Amino acid sequence: MADFMIGDIRVTRVEESVHLTSRPQDRFIDFEPSQLEPLLQWLAPDFYSLADERMRSSIHTWVLRTPTQVILVDTCTGNHKDRPGFPNFHMLDTPYPQRLRAAGIEPEEVDVVFCTHLHVDHVGWNTRLADGRWVPTFPNARYLFSRGDFEHFDRAMSLPGTSQMTRNTFTDSVLPIVEAGQAVYVDDGEEIAKGLSLEAAPGHTPGQMCLNLRSGGRLACFCGDVLHHPLQVPLWHWRTRICTDPDQSRDSRRRMLEQCEQTGALLLPAHFIAPHGGYIEHRNDSFGILWPEAPGGTDPRHARR
């Protein structure tokens, strides 16, 4: 797991799983082989399997320890949860709780859980199964849900076309938090702690948000699923089939990449495998990513491609 400092905030990555995911041609509306081909020299083998023609993905939580609080950003997929048709999510039995404890975090010590959006692989460990009931995993935490996302998925529960996985996810990983009185609905621009502010990044879901960190003169952006894979840095314009609004998602992605490039913020997505994040630079009308030698490295000139 990665563990580093950004100013006076300690950042730790706790992994749930790493797996092969979609083929690019299945994931992206704008897939064009000739645009992908030049990137394979650095995407493979770490980020992309040439043999399988599939992307590699991580599912993890970012743990932020400020001087006064413990904050989790996204809670992965969870164990023992019924996710029909999705083997990477279905009825898992991972050692995520043990990994969290190995990072020095007991569930009772968590003050805030922030879900960048309310998809299956970002809310799963919100709850755990206890005596046949789904109960909050973090009993003393405030769970921050985007107001826009909660309203969207709450409405979806009454629509006939809503998938069973979406229904199950909302029922076992979101509603129990509401019923326990631990849900707090948040909006664009709110500051959730000193140096930690929320920024709307809609498109993947209607209410997705980034968490921006500023501490000790350094910046980072925990961007959820504004992008899923490193190929979406240079190919930011490739729209994703799994987004509620692919055009809006593309626009949010470009805006976020421009902002990271202009401010020097360390970009920390929810699904990049090692080294899990990097710095953004302009390259013609596109962007490149610079991987720091150390996870908390500050100088992209000492980075590897």
128 phi and psi, to 5 degrees? -135, 160
Residue whose pair of structure tokens reads 């993905």 in the numeric block: 57
pLDDT at residue 303, rounded to an integer: 38
Cα–Cα distance, 58 to 53 (Å, whole number): 17
Domain 3-304 has CATH 3.30.420.40: no
pLDDT at residue 296, rounded to an integer: 54
Q: What's CA 115's distance to the chain center, in Å?
A: 8
pLDDT at residue 137, rounded to an integer: 98
pTM above 0.75, yes or no: yes
**Residue spans of the chain under pLDDT 50:** 1, 298-305
- 203-221: pLDDT as tens digits: 999 999 999 999 999 999 9
Q: Where are the beta strands (DSSP E) in the chain?
A: 3-6, 9-20, 48-49, 54-65, 70-73, 112-114, 127-130, 133-136, 142-146, 183-186, 191-193, 196-200, 209-215, 218-222, 266-268, 279-283, 286-292, 303-304
pLDDT at residue 301, rounded to an integer: 34
For residues 208 and 196, is the Cβ–Cβ distance under 8 A?
Answer: no
Q: Where are the beta strands (DSSP E) in 40-123?
A: 48-49, 54-65, 70-73, 112-114
- 17-68: pLDDT as tens digits: 999 999 999 999 999 999 999 999 999 999 999 999 999 999 999 999 999 9
> Amino acid letter at 113?
V
| Residue-range domain boundaries for the chain | 3-304
Measured between alpha carbons, how far apart are the two ends of the chain, in Å?
A: 21
pLDDT at residue 292, rounded to an integer: 87
The secondary structure of residue 214, as a DSSP letter, is E
Q: Which of 122, 143, 140, 130 is nearest to 16 (CA)?
A: 122
- Range 128-166 burial, b when 16+ CB lie within 10 A, else e: beeeeebebbbeebbbbbbbbbbebbeeeeeeeeeeebb
